[in-house]
Structure 1
Amino acid sequence: MTFRIRAIAAAWMLALCPLAAHAEPAQEFMLENGMKIIVKEDHRAPTAAHMVWYRIGSMDELNGTTGVAHALEHMMFKGTTSLKPGEFSARVAALGGRENAFTSKDYTAYYQQIEKSRLEAVMALEADRMANLVFDKDEFAREIKVVMEERRLRTEDQASARVYEALNAAAFVAHPYHHPIVGWMDDLQHMTVEDAKAWHDRFYAPNNATMVVTGDVDAAQVRALAEKYFGKIPVKSIPVTRPQNEPLQQGVRRITVKAPAENPYVALAFKAPTLRDVEKDDDVHALDVLSAVLDGFDNARLPARLVRTERVANSVGASYSSNARGPVLFVLDGTPAAGTTTEQLEKLLRDEVRRVAQEGVTEEELKRVKNQLIASQIYKRDSVFGQAMEIGVMEMTGISHKQIDRIIEKLGQVTAKQVQDVAARYFNEDQLTVATLVPLPLTDRKPAAPPAGLRH
């Protein structure tokens, strides 16, 4: 049985990834307690990726407890009623596997990569900490210090991270994307073990989770194992979080960040549409293509003109990801070369988008860009773990994994006129937030060592 895909997607699958063309489609099951199970068989190597995704992230936090989703992620490795702190990781290592976790604005996920015969063992471990996590006050006190040091290391000591934290806080005034995933330092300093426990008690339930298993597995056996280890975990009444919709922006917002850095930097963030309906949201697919036109391959417009030809920037970029539970941004950014100011580079970046809006793109350029973009989507499937990630992100952001191939088709159908239209529609000042880094002198202080217990 092959993927039910049509036209361009099928052609690309065969041309670029022949092995994937013979893979089985993902199968989906639902346990009686509401836990979704998605299994994607791929028998090219005797390995498997096992992931449990919770549809809860930093966007669901309340003021005063920002960072609690990430803090709980750390506590998930600190023991259950049957495991000592650190024993979860030790057991996975003893099985020859790798494991970790990550928290985003939209979700929290836990994973193990293992030899296929070890799947049952890691599934039992994951079910245990969903149902039987222990919250020790002393363990939490130690771990929240690790989280605070992680914030210092990855945000406060990194100029670019400080810029993007400030950028999000300015771009989103009402929506909880305003807050950093790691949390504000003051909230971390006042966080308690009860906060973490309440988060787990409220949201960590089978009916708020999706298991994704990919690799050399049998879907029926995975379903049976899921029933065995997760099926007995009781349903919880999951609170419905309020939308906190972002009000309409009226006028450009500007912020300045001063931090030790070698070079100035500027980032322009434009409000852009989120993918909600694969069939109807044509602007989303056109913006994906526009992002690739600007910065999707070696000879894309931004680096070709501003870095290599005019040499007014040391680096430039464009980024856009439409998969999210909340609002998204289309970002243009760059580091100016000597003799160029951030104000000048800001104008030059916007000029490139205006050029597309006014002149469009040629059919040859469009074809080349779409080839690159679609190929990058398909190459991700070379990895068993990459397949699990793709499925999980789609599901957590409200798009069925069954639509993955249709998105590739839609990208292939984007026209030059659609690219020109979105370049004209979404890049005005009423949707723009600009963050500028003003570099301060670098100190002679050596970077701090990563905190003990830092997981990802």
Structure 2
Amino acid sequence: MKRLLMPLGLALALCAPLPATAQTAPPSTASPDPAATLARQYTLSNGMTLIVRPDRRAPTAVHMLWVRVGSMDEVDGTSGVAHALEHMMFKGSALLKPGEFSQRVSALGGQLNAFTSRDNTAYHEQVPADRLEEVMRLGADRFATNRWSDDEFAREMSVIKEERRQRTEESPRARMYEAFNAMVWQASPYRRPIIGWMSDLDAMTPQDARDFHRRWYVPANAAVVITGDVDVQRVREWAERYYGRIPAAAVPERKPRTEPPQQGPRRLEYRGVTEQPLVTLAWHAPRYSGRDDEASRDALALAVLSGLLDGYPGARLDRALVQGEGNAGKRVADSASAGYGLIGRGPQVFTLSAVPARGVTPEMAAAALKLEVERIAREGVSEAELQRVKTQWTASEVYKLDSIMGQAQELGTYWVNGLPVDAGERLIAQLRAVTAEQVRAVAGRYFIERTLNTGVLLPEARNGEGAR
């Protein structure tokens, strides 16, 4: 869930009342010492992780709470409970009434938001640096003593179900992708939608959410990430004072749910009221783990391949399918894209998608998508093209660090996936080492018919008229 427009999610019941103000050191005007801006990771006395990265360019700070729990940790029958709990974390605690957390952060001059993914749930606030301690106190309370009434839960579930109706039920593309995702994954929990199946939302109880909170919201399964104009030692003291006092608890055992190898192509045809068809192709692919092994090396090469196909304006898919270059100017698609996850707690897929141009069938568009990968597998790529993609990715990695929110999100993502705080620098270095031959090799090895998943959205008249 995104709570936009709120000026950017924790305080123990045993803590003293919130002070009116809290003081920190004024922002430094001197050139920063590079060593003083490095991210540092600590473990609090109860097992919770603390990550701090100073950035003194402006008197503001970001506070993020990351919990290593998402939709992949749910079980059948309670899909959507991780997202539902994210909503309920704004509905009260030992110190605060429903909605008061957001009101307090806004009163501090801050902004807040939250989101749930397959792999994690995260809560974030950006506030003036001299109000950081208050937000940490609030955050610790919410994490440890989240509480709300059954009536509050019922009201919020109505909001969530309407969110699902608007984002999924009313969108043929969203419904197709949801069904396609459930086909691609057989055993992996990634097969369930993050927002949950509507029948599970209808059946969800307040106790389902409370049990999920009790089970997964424990210190050893969470990290507090702080970036901005902060003093590291002072942040450590505050973290121990507020978060460190939360009782330690064991993280539940996670049973492996390994996706079995795909032994043949799969195809889904989904019919909906839409103006244009859509075709999506997906192949299972390795994820980047940070280890120096074949899977991670292939993952990096696949990331470069994705960039070659769709990493910048005028990349291969755009030139060949949308502009019709090399095809006598004949356009195959109104749009075409490539995507690859690279990092995640679970397995990943590489996807190719296209919206066929008028007069072009989904089969023709799918063939054109596959042809571009086959061309790379057969002919390879030029060094200039390879360097362009590397430069694009390196620049994007550097530019996003201009934002202290971007820094916090990156550090939290690395922690969720078991990567070190300097994973960004390592990734860039490893990306630069990817060779044209590695890209050609993965293009020929992973994109085979045996492991292909095809999803097609076909236009249908309203009320099923004209459907076949």
2:298 is matched with which residue?
283
Report the alpha carbon displacement of residue 237 of structure 1 after superposing the two structures with TM.
2.1
Query: What is the DSSP-based 3-state SS (H/G/I as helix, E as strand, rest coil) of the residue aligned with 1:335?
Result: strand
Q: Could you tell me which of 396, 411, 418 is aligned with 1:391?
A: 411
Deviations 1:160-211 (A, max 9, x none): 2212211210010111111000111101100000000000111111111011
Q: Could you tell me which of 91, 95, 115 is aligned with 2:104?
A: 91
2:267 is matched with which residue?
254
Work out the number of aligned pairs and report it. 426
> Aligned letter for 1:187?
D
Relative to structure 1, is the Cα distance of residues 24 and 434 closer, same or farther in structure 2, using a 3 angstrom cutoff?
same
Shift >3 Å, 4+ stretches: 18-23
> Aligned letter for 1:188?
L
Q: Could you tell me which of 64, 67, 83 is aligned with 1:51?
A: 64
Query: What is the DSSP-based 3-state SS (H/G/I as helix, E as strand, rest coil) of the residue aligned with 1:226?
Result: helix
Deviations 1:389-431 (A, max 9, x none): 1111111022222222011000011100000001001111222
Q: Could you tell me which of 204, 208, 213 is aligned with 1:191?
A: 204
Q: Could you tell me which of 249, 270, 273 is aligned with 1:236?
A: 249
1:11 is matched with which residue?
none
1:180 is matched with which residue?
193
Report the alpha carbon displacement of residue 155 of structure 1 after superposing the two structures with TM.
1.0
State the alpha-carbon separation in 2 of the partners of residues 211 and 30 from structure 1.
Answer: 10
Q: Structure 2: give runs of 5+ residues left out of the alignment.
A: 1-30, 325-329, 464-468
Task: Confirm whether residue 342 of structure 1 aligns to residue 355 of structure 2.
Answer: no
TM-score, length basis structure 1: 0.91
Report the alpha carbon displacement of residue 440 of structure 1 after superposing the two structures with TM.
2.8
Task: Confirm whether residue 127 of structure 1 aligns to residue 110 of structure 2.
Answer: no
1:95-110 correspondence runs (5 A): 95-110=108-123
1:454 is matched with which residue?
none
1:332-411 correspondence runs (5 A): 332-411=352-431
1:313 is matched with which residue?
333
1:451 is matched with which residue?
none
> Aligned letter for 1:386?
G
1:208 is matched with which residue?
221
Query: What is the DSSP-based 3-state SS (H/G/I as helix, E as strand, rest coil) of the residue aligned with 2:61?
Result: strand
Report the alpha carbon displacement of residue 25 of structure 1 after superposing the two structures with TM.
1.0
Query: What is the DSSP-based 3-state SS (H/G/I as helix, E as strand, rest coil) of the residue aligned with 2:156?
Result: helix
Q: Which has the higher contact order (CA 8 A, sep 6+)?
A: 1
Report the alpha carbon displacement of residue 140 of structure 1 after superposing the two structures with TM.
0.4
Report the alpha carbon displacement of residue 132 of structure 1 after superposing the two structures with TM.
1.1
State the alpha-carbon separation in 1 of the partners of residues 247 and 35 from structure 2.
Answer: 38
Deviations 1:47-75 (A, max 9, x none): 11110000011101111111100000000
State the alpha-carbon separation in 1 of the partners of residues 281 and 172 from structure 2.
Answer: 16
Q: Could you tell me which of 297, 303, 312 is aligned with 2:312?
A: 297
Q: Structure 1: give runs of 5+ residues left out of the alignment.
A: 1-17, 444-456
Q: Percent identity?
A: 51
Of 243-252 and 397-406, more deviation after overlay is shown by: 397-406
> Aligned letter for 1:267?
T
State the alpha-carbon separation in 1 of the partners of residues 420 and 331 from structure 2.
Answer: 44
> Aligned letter for 1:137?
D
Query: What is the DSSP-based 3-state SS (H/G/I as helix, E as strand, rest coil) of the residue aligned with 2:151?
Result: helix
State the alpha-carbon separation in 2 of the partners of residues 442 and 400 from structure 1.
Answer: 52
Deviations 1:97-120 (A, max 9, x none): 111111111110111011111111
